[in-house]
Amino acid sequence: MALARARTSAHYSQGDVGAALGINRAMVSYWEAGTRIPNDRQLGAMARLYGIELFDLVEGREVGLAAEDLVSMLLRANDDVDPGATPGIREFVQFLDRFAELARIVDKPIRGLSQSPFVFRQRFSQKDDIRRKAEEVRNCLRLGSAPISDLDPICEALGIAIYRARLGPDLQISPSGAFLKHPEVGFAILVNLDMTPGRRRFTVAHELAHALFHSDQTNQVLSHGRGPREVFADAFAGEFLMPSEGVRRFAEEVGLPPRIKDPVDIVHIQRYFKVSWPTALVRLRQMNAITQATYADLRASVRPVSLARALGYTIHPEEDVQDPELWRIRRFPRSFLRMLRHAVVTEIMSPPSAAAFAGLALPDIVQILGNPIGDTEQESPHLKTEFNEFEVTGVV
């Protein structure tokens, strides 16, 4: 019965589970009836599929109703979303509940944003209005018109938590991300890990728009489709990541023509602003920096990663193939990791308990702790040289 309840809560049929595990549907039925017993590997695969801990699956513990309500709320208005995204969405909601629980355990408040400091009226949603909103946010954060190196500190400064999970690689049926106002954590953003680094950055900016300008209308948005809110958030993200003034200043400083045709020039702009190739092309078209004919030609004919590599740019490994395993620790907000580290350092939690609580491996906790006793990793010779330089000049 426990296996059946977990499957039902995850909104999967027995056939779905059989297909995911590479077995016959009848075998799933036998397991749930208790006439056959799945092995450890099969139990682990089911737990991952259902988005729950293996212990909860075996013991028959169910996801809290509040968490399940939030998952259903995110999915309710998006019937065309691939059910394969459900485990990632559930993982996101369960993480937020754990974050709130961790804050209670260590007796530290979560400084989350629960109300946007920016004013937004629905009738002010034209192109110029969206550009103005992007400028307002940039000015508030003192970003000017320069490229943004990392969006995570910006969201943390605003009090917005970012979590990353797998939601599916096909954005025709899979969401790129989500915004949720959690009752205890406040504003939170989910980013689909099954996307390129540039597309993930765009999604953070997109969800930031939902948080700052749509949160007075709704507590949740699952980003999929082309509704008015999605169009607004897309336009905001483009303006926020590639402000018109910054793009034109860069083009002028490096000697690019007002009307760009050469894909090499666009690669330089793309890499400077750290955006995806589609984002760069769309923004330049919106700014009339490239013609519609150039846009169509470059969209169809250019291999941007190969071109960037040939131009000497460092290529992120996930531009070719996404590897969510690289994000075991980095999928969490930095504020959560600091709080988890505090719990271990102050001995509120043991390292194994912290690992189990966060769904991490024990070596991950060791990494979060920094450089513990017994670590045999050698200090970088570059660090030694730099320390010596300071010590010689008498700074220390």
Q: What residue spans define the domains of the chain?
A: 1-62, 64-236, 244-319, 328-392
Look at 308 and 120; give whichever has higher pLDDT.
308
pLDDT, one tens digit per residue, over 344-364 is: 999 999 998 898 888 888 899
Query: In whole angstroms, how far apart are CA 25 and each of 5, 39, 252?
Result: 16, 16, 62
> Hey, what long-range contacts does 280-287 have (CB within 8 A, 24 or more apart)?
280/242, 282/238, 283/238, 283/239, 283/241, 283/242, 283/247, 284/247, 284/260, 286/238, 287/244, 287/247, 287/248
Angle between helices 334-345 and 351-358 (to 10 degrees): 150
- Using one digit for the tens of pLDDT, what is the confidence trace for 134-156? 999 999 999 999 999 899 999 99
Mean pLDDT value across residues 238-250: 95
| Residues 6+ away with beta carbon under 8 Å from 363 | none
Summarize pLDDT for 173-225 with one digit per residue, the tens: 899 999 999 989 999 999 999 999 999 999 999 999 999 999 988 888 888 87
Give all strands (DSSP E) within the chain, no chain letters. 161-165, 177-182, 186-192, 220-223
| 111 closest CA partner among 120, 99, 119 | 99
Residue 64 has pLDDT above 50, yes or no: no
Q: Is the dihedral of CA 382, 384, 389, 390 positive or negative?
A: positive
pLDDT at 388 over 70: yes
Of 67, 309, 273, nearest in space to 183 by CA: 67
What's the rounded Cα separation, in Å, for the pair 144 and 124? 23
How much is the pLDDT for 360? 87
pLDDT of residue 86: 86
The DSSP 8-state label assigned to residue 39 in this structure reads: -
First to last CA, the chain: 66
Determine if the pTM surpasses 0.85.
no
- Find out whether 51 and 91 touch, Cβ atoms under 8 Å: yes
The phi and psi torsions of 126 (rounded to 5 degrees) equal: -80, 170
Task: Specify the pLDDT at position 276.
Answer: 93
SS3 assignment, position 304:
helix
- pLDDT confidence band for 375 (50 / 70 / 90): very low
For the chain, the average pLDDT equals: 86
CB 341 within 8 A of CB 355: no
Residues with Cβ within 8 Å of residue 29, at least 6 apart in sequence: 14
Query: Is the per-residue pLDDT at 73 higher than 70?
Result: no
DSSP string, 156-209: HHHT-EEEEE---S-TTTS-SEEEEEETTTEEEEEEESSS-HHHHHHHHHHHHH
CATH class of the 1-62 domain in this structure? mainly alpha
**Dist CA 53 CA 23 (whole Å):** 22
Q: Given a cut of 50, is residue 102 above it in pLDDT?
A: yes
Residue 379: its pLDDT value, please? Answer: 57
Q: What are the percentages of helix, strand and coil residues in the chain, rounded to 5?
A: 55, 5, 35
Give dist(CA 140, CA 49) in Å, integer: 41
Which residues, including other chains, have CB under 8 Å from residue 134's CB and lie 6 or more apart? 236, 239, 240, 243
Residue 129, classed as helix, strand or coil, is: helix
Residues in the chain: 396
pLDDT at res. 125: 73
Report the alpha-carbon distance of residue 94 to residue 87 in Å, rounded: 10
CB atoms within 10 A of CB 34: 10
pLDDT of residue 110: 92
pLDDT of residue 68: 60
**Does 253 or 119 have the greater pLDDT score?**
253
